[in-house]
Structure 1
Amino acid sequence: MARRTFFSFHYSSDVWRAWNVRNSWVAKPDHVDIGFFDRSVFEASKRKNDDTLKAFLRKGLENTSVTCVLAGTNTWRRRWVRYEIARSIIKGNGLLTVYIHGVRDRNGYTSAKGYDPLAQMGIYRSYGSIYLAEWTGSKWVSYSDYTRAIPESELWFVGPKTDAVLQISSHCMAYDYTQQHGHKNIGGWIETAAGLAGR
């Protein structure tokens, strides 16, 4: 079956690496990639205002069943990658992290491994409702780009029972594209993420 996958990544640092991953993905039969926007379109939406960019990213996630976060050195810090993760959780997409720091850039260089972006986002319970949280580098805070409660019935994993933050990564798989032969295996990784989410 066709698997529509949204790829989330840090554009300015990792677009070359991300395109290499994308090319190995679309070479497989029945695979459809989403999330590879032309930079000019992204920047135009960003220049208008945050709400325009959020709407643009939500539109990009439509009709997808999996979000694959391509993690480079600083992907975990990026506001809009976090927003794509947040909207993927709300939407019920399967999620996975694929580390791409070992993929060579256009100049032949690799980069340092960064933190898992899915470990920097979490959910917690407050007064019986589920909310999103994000890691600032020193503490967990309420996620400011989406402040409404998430219906617990929409989660594909068991929600937290207390106000302690549950990292999204605790329910998702992470892989190293270079060391684990991603050019051969990424299709299986994405199918696993879809299966975990019941998608």
Structure 2
Amino acid sequence: MARKTFFSFHYSPDCWRAWNVRNSWEIKGTKEGVGFFDNSVFEASKKEGDDALKRFLREGLANTSVTCVLAGSETSARRWVRYEIARSVIKGNGLLTVDIHGVKNSKGFVATKGTDPLALMGLYRTVNGIYLAEAKGGKWVKYGDYTRAIPENDLWFTAPATDTVVPFSRHCSRYDFANQDGRNKLGGWIEVAAKQAGR
């Protein structure tokens, strides 16, 4: 079954790689990928302010069931990738990371492998509820772009039991597009993530 999938990535360094990954999937006949934005549209929303950009990204996630984080060298620290991950968790999307550093860019170069973005975001429990956290400066802090509690029943994975942050990578798979035959397997990876989330 084809899944409507939001692709999250760091635009400037990885757009060429991300387009190649998505196009390889569409060649297989799925044509269910969304979340690829023209940079001018993204920049225009950014100029309108953070609230406009957040709304733009939430609208991009609408009607999707899976979020595929295409991870390059610098993706894990990107604020708006983190926001897309946070909103995906709130929405109940399946999640996975696909490393794309090994895909050649427009000049024919590969990059160095980056940190899994899903390892630098997670959830923790307080007496007031379950909250998002992100890693900054080598420690966990409360996530600043969404500060409300997340209802436990909205989570497709086991909620944290304590105030120790549980990263999303503990529940989600990570793959390497270049080294694990992503051209032929990406659809299957996405399907696994969808089923894990009950989507």
Q: Give yes or no for TM over 0.5.
A: yes
Amino acid at match of 2:144: S
- Normalising by structure 2, we get a TM-score of 0.98
Determine if the alignment matches structure 1 residue 57 to structure 2 residue 57. yes
CA RMSD of aligned residues (A): 0.8
2: distance between equivalents of 1:61 and 1:168?
18
Tell me the equivalent position of 1:146.
146
Tell me the equivalent position of 1:189.
189
2: distance between equivalents of 1:100 and 1:2?
21
Cα-to-partner distance string for 1:109-165 (whole Å, 9 max, x where unaligned): 000100000001000001151100000031000000000000000000000000000
Tell me the equivalent position of 2:9.
9
- 2:158 alignment partner, SS class: coil
Determine if the alignment matches structure 1 residue 98 to structure 2 residue 98. yes
- 2:4 alignment partner, SS class: strand
Kindly tell me: are residues 30 and 16 of structure 1, through their superposed partners in 2, closer, same or farther at Cα, counting changes over 3 Å? closer
2: distance between equivalents of 1:137 and 1:15?
27
Runs (5+) with no aligned partner, structure 1: none
- Report the alpha carbon displacement of residue 25 of structure 1 after superposing the two structures with TM: 1.1
Amino acid at match of 2:170: S
1: distance between equivalents of 2:88 and 2:178?
25
Question: What aligned pairs does 1:80-95 form with structure 2 within 5 A after superposition?
Answer: 80-95=80-95
Identity of aligned residues (%): 66
Cα-to-partner distance string for 1:169-196 (whole Å, 9 max, x where unaligned): 0000000000000000000000000010
Tell me the equivalent position of 1:135.
135
2: distance between equivalents of 1:27 and 1:67?
19
- Report the alpha carbon displacement of residue 64 of structure 1 after superposing the two structures with TM: 0.2
Tell me the equivalent position of 1:109.
109
Tell me the equivalent position of 2:180.
180
Runs (5+) with no aligned partner, structure 2: none
2: distance between equivalents of 1:65 and 1:27?
20
- 1:7 alignment partner, SS class: strand
1: distance between equivalents of 2:76 and 2:93?
19
